[in-house]
Amino acid sequence: MPQRVAMGSLQCGMHAVDVSIRGRGAVATGLALALGQLGLRVALSAAAPPKEARAADVRAYALNAASKRLLQRLKVWDALPADAVTPVFDMRIRGDAPTGRLTFSAWTQCVDALAWIVDAAELDEALDAALRFAGHVQRFEQMPEAPLTVYAEGKDSASRAALGVRFDRQDYGQVAIAARLTAVDAHQGVAHQWFRVPDVLALLPFDRPAPQRSFALVWSLPRERAAALMQIDAASFEAELQGSSPELPAGLRLASERAAWPLSIAAAHPVFGAGWVLVGDAAHVVHPLAGQGLNLGLGDVQVLAETLARREPWRALGDERLLARYARARAWPVRTMSWLTDALVHGFSSQQGFVRELRNRGMGLVDRATPAKRWLAARALEG
Ligand SMILES: Cc1cc2nc3c(=O)[nH]c(=O)nc-3n(C[C@H](O)[C@H](O)[C@H](O)COP(=O)(O)OP(=O)(O)OC[C@H]3O[C@@H](n4cnc5c(N)ncnc54)[C@H](O)[C@@H]3O)c2cc1C
């Protein structure tokens, strides 16, 4: 079935659509699908990135149970190729001293999996494919006016500044290097993370390109060190990576290009006004060390769709009071996750002996304190 696309300067009356969504990332498309399911007429920005450009995205997202449920409802999850989704059964987190150990397991948590590692490009493809069946969603080159405009433009949103929104952004002075790797032995569904000074290294189990023996790498490093690692050849990079810890899986080889992202934490104030609202990275940016940015964005999608669905029949979609309900519901989960990730970044940036001792003992303590561990795992699973 061809995608419903209305290109060019289509003359739409003031309210030819109910909601106008600006942006073309996973959050924008997910929201368009969710609102379309409610029967709302949705305008979505046109021109998704071409397939080749998407394929160059070497990231794999760790998605939580709440994101999985949402994507299932949107008929996206089951459309993902089997090898583009890998469940995580165990998570092993190491500090920079032998006392710093923290493990999570799906078994003790009584869940199917702690997270699912999903190919970023395949997720975008599946979201776009689902749009073909979303009769209420149309793509526009020139966005029509609507009672409610949602900005899902990502962290560099241009409209945000035009709305007069403050965006408090703090640069971490770090860059995340992402790539795909293969290893000698099977990953067994185990995710590994090393919190050290000055870097954080994550290996997420994945089934592409080699089934059972691949990992998605996210390595957060100081800017200069990352720049050096981006410039060296593949063999030297592999040697640097392998040499960074004796506990890394054996025989790690690069299986993709390396890509780099500058890292920051940011929050928009306010996130809504009369007739508009910000969602996803346009509203909040967190460090990827906990793999929660997109989960938070999909949480926005879920709650905004619920808020609009439950509005009083006489209340307009762009009513500030209605949007305030949405903002209130999202404030706590977003703030908690921002605080947690920021605390981890800062807790692992000090070289001082007593701080090092404290953070590693703290990890060991959480590992033994079952309620605290369950709380942390629940936050990660449900967002
Ligand atoms: C290395 C790395 C690893 C990560 N790993 C994880 C992870 O494991 N789990 C997780 O949950 N999150 C992860 N994240 C975070 C995740 O990538 C982001 O939170 C998520 O992509 C944000 O989605 P978004 O749709 O809000 O914004 P974006 O993905 O930035 O999409 C917005 C899009 O809209 C476009 N746009 C802007 N303005 C307009 C306009 N006016 N009209 C049309 N289009 C416009 C932009 O060009 C962009 O393509 C990671 C991030 C990084 C950098």
Residues with CB under 6 A from ligand 1: 22-28, 45, 59, 61-62, 152-154, 157, 176, 178, 218, 261, 280-281, 288, 291-295, 297
pLDDT at residue 351, rounded to an integer: 67
Model confidence at 6: pLDDT above 70: no
So what's the pLDDT on residue 14?
Answer: 61
How do residues 216-267 score in pLDDT, each as one tens digit? Answer: 999 999 999 999 999 999 999 999 999 999 999 999 999 999 999 999 999 9
In the chain, the percentage of residues whose pLDDT exceeds 70 is 90
Nearest partner of 199 among 217, 184, 221, 215, judged by Cα: 221
The answer to whether the beta carbons of residues 147 and 17 sit under 8 Å apart is: no
Residue 1 has pLDDT above 50, yes or no: no
Ligand 1 pocket test, pick from 22, 61, 172, 298 with the greatest ligand atom count within 8 Å of Cβ, gives 61
Q: What is the CA radius of gyration of the chain?
A: 21
C-alpha 247 to ligand 1 mean position (Å): 32
> Omega before 209 cis (within 30°)?
yes
Cβ atoms within 10 Å of 168's Cβ, excluding its own? 9
Residues 126-155 have a mean pLDDT of: 95
Q: What is the pLDDT of residues 300-345, one digit of tens each?
A: 999 999 999 999 999 999 999 999 999 999 999 999 999 989 988 8
Find out whether 184 and 213 touch, Cβ atoms under 8 Å.
yes
Whole-angstrom distance, CA of residue 241 vs CA of residue 229: 9
Could you read off the pLDDT of 184-213 as tens digits, one per residue? Answer: 999 999 999 998 888 999 999 999 999 999
Which of 281, 296, 334 should be mutated for ligand 1, with most atoms under 8 A from CB?
Answer: 281
pLDDT on residue 139: 95
Q: Return d(Cα 323, Cα 316) in angstroms, integer.
A: 10
Instruction: Name the residue with the closest Cα to ligand 1, atom 52.
Output: 288
Residue 12 clears pLDDT 60, i.e. is over it: no
Q: What is the pLDDT of residues 75-131, one digit of tens each?
A: 999 999 999 999 999 999 998 777 788 899 999 888 999 999 999 999 999 999 999
Q: Is the pLDDT of residue 24 over 70?
A: yes
